[in-house]
Amino acid sequence: MDFFDLVNKRRSVRKFSNETIPEEVVIKALKASLLAANSSNLQPWEFYWVKNKNNKNDLIKACFSQNAAKTAQELIVAVSRIDTWKRNRNLILENYKKKGNLIPVVEKYYNKLIPLSYVHDRIGLLGIMKKILSFFISIVGFFRPVPRGPIFRHDVFEIVTKTTALACQNFMMALVAQGYDSCPMEGFDQKRVKNILKLNSKSHIVMVIGVGKADPNGIYGERFRIDNDLVIKII
Ligand SMILES: Cc1cc2nc3c(=O)[nH]c(=O)nc-3n(C[C@H](O)[C@H](O)[C@H](O)COP(=O)(O)O)c2cc1C
């Protein structure tokens, strides 16, 4: 399918048909999601394919039993994490070393700048220290561009969540490319979903994605977008 047809074809489906979706279709889409652009290639995402019947029922309830969850053949939960950067950073460096192309600037980036950006603590003391440091950096910022964050834990969450959302888009597009549909959902109880997946406080549920084939009445209305002029700014 032409890329632009694909973009037009993807719609949020609120009612799925009873048709099952082959396992390999979901796997292929999940693999496509992992190819998304992501900050510093740290791949801070996890995708949980909730197959267990009890977990699935609990997940539907945690999504307020909304139709897109209730009727979905499969449910995928996209999770972003602020605690996998060290493991993934080490894997990236190992891969560079294995290929023999680890240059000093890359090593410095991953060993110095990344820890400074990603390090955090629960009560925010490190954030306060980084904020003080950033005050001095912002003085330099009067004269030249300087890095101004991330500072607090929520800033790190913003980075990993942004990246994970891009992977979600890949996932949904990969389903359309294979003739299937989806609905991204943020209408869920964050705490309950985390309990179902047994996740810690360093993880964030980005979206629950309902997957299947659209019912003939599964798309609730014509697509509406506000005027381009309001959102595309050429300066
Ligand atoms: C992050 C995110 C959260 C969403 N949450 C819900 C949701 O909880 N329930 C729902 O029915 N649709 C949800 N949607 C779907 C949007 O309502 C939908 O994308 C929007 O209305 C545009 O329609 P389209 O996707 O068909 O182009 C969500 C979409 C995104 C990207």
Closest CA to 172 of 62, 59, 72: 72
Q: What is the pLDDT of residue 122?
A: 79
> pLDDT for 87-120, tens place per residue?
999 999 999 999 999 999 999 999 999 999 998 8
Whole-number CA gyration radius for the chain: 21
Closest CA to 177 of 16, 29, 15: 29
Ligand 1 pocket list (CB less than 6 A): 11-12, 14, 66, 68, 183-187, 207, 223
CATH architecture of the region 3-82+162-220: 3-Layer(aba) Sandwich (3.40)
The per-residue b/e assignment along 65-90, b for 16 or more CB within 10 angstroms, e otherwise, is ebbbbbbbbbbbbbbbbbebbeebbe
> pLDDT for 114-155, tens place per residue?
999 998 877 888 888 888 888 888 898 999 998 888 888 999
Percentage of residues in the chain having pLDDT higher than 70? 100
SS3 210: strand
Considering only CA atoms, which residue is closest to atom 1 of ligand 1? 186
SS3 181: strand
In the chain, domain spans: 3-82+162-220, 85-153
Q: What is the pLDDT of residue 15?
A: 98
Say if CB 78 and CB 45 are below 8 A apart. Answer: yes
Write down the pTM of the prediction.
Answer: 0.95
Atom of ligand 1 minimally distant from the CA of 68 = 11
Q: What is the pLDDT of residue 147?
A: 84
Q: What is the pLDDT of residue 131?
A: 86
Q: What is the pLDDT of residue 119?
A: 86
Considering only CA atoms, which residue is closest to atom 22 of ligand 1? 12
Segments in the chain below pLDDT 50: none
Residue type, 114: I
